Amino acid sequence: MLFKLYPMKVYITILCIFCFGINSNAQDLVYKPINPAFGGDTFNYTWLLNSAESQNKFREPVDPSPTLSALEQFKSSLNSQLLSQVSSSLFQSQFGDQGIVPGSYTFGSLAVNIYPSNLGLVVDILDTDTGEKTQVFIPGN
């Protein structure tokens, strides 16, 4: 009685769907990240960086310092050279030909303490006027 309700074409179509539909092919779903920091393609780096910079609402403040004229640049260069000559002559008069030797020295308002350590030669510089202090490490052999 079931065969009389539907025409034979419907039964053949349903039979074809079940027989041939079972043997279907599919591929695996594979996730590939876009960001090169997480394993993505390295060519995406510039695109991601430009995209992030265009969305960035924070801007660095512009330095309002004016550009120096040629005369001011010459003056600055001359000052640097004079200070270099003065520091070179102070160094030569204080240390002589033997170079930097451990000890305590005074250059105007600068107190310099030089001593050896496991990192090499340590130079402590203290500005006695302002209290500023800096430390320089000179690696040894």
Q: What is the DSSP string of 47-73?
A: HHHHHHHHH----PPPP-PPPPPHHHH
Does pLDDT of 44 surpass 70? yes
- Tell me the C-alpha distance between 85 and 95, whole Å: 15
What is the structure's pLDDT at 98?
Answer: 74
pLDDT (average), residues 3-21: 70
What is the structure's pLDDT at 63?
Answer: 72
| Domain range summary for the chain, segments of one domain joined by + | 100-140
What is the structure's pLDDT at 1?
Answer: 47
What percent of the chain lies above the pLDDT cut of 90? 3
What is the structure's pLDDT at 19?
Answer: 67
Does pLDDT of 120 surpass 60? yes
pLDDT tens-digit series, residues 75-112: 888 888 888 887 787 777 766 777 777 888 887 888 88
- Tell me the C-alpha distance between 110 and 132, whole Å: 10
pTM over 0.95: no
pLDDT tens-digit series, residues 59-76: 888 777 677 788 888 888
Scanning the chain, the segments in alpha helix (DSSP H) are: 2-5, 8-21, 45-55, 70-95
User: Which DSSP letter does residue 104 get?
Assistant: E
pLDDT tens-digit series, residues 28-38: 888 888 888 88
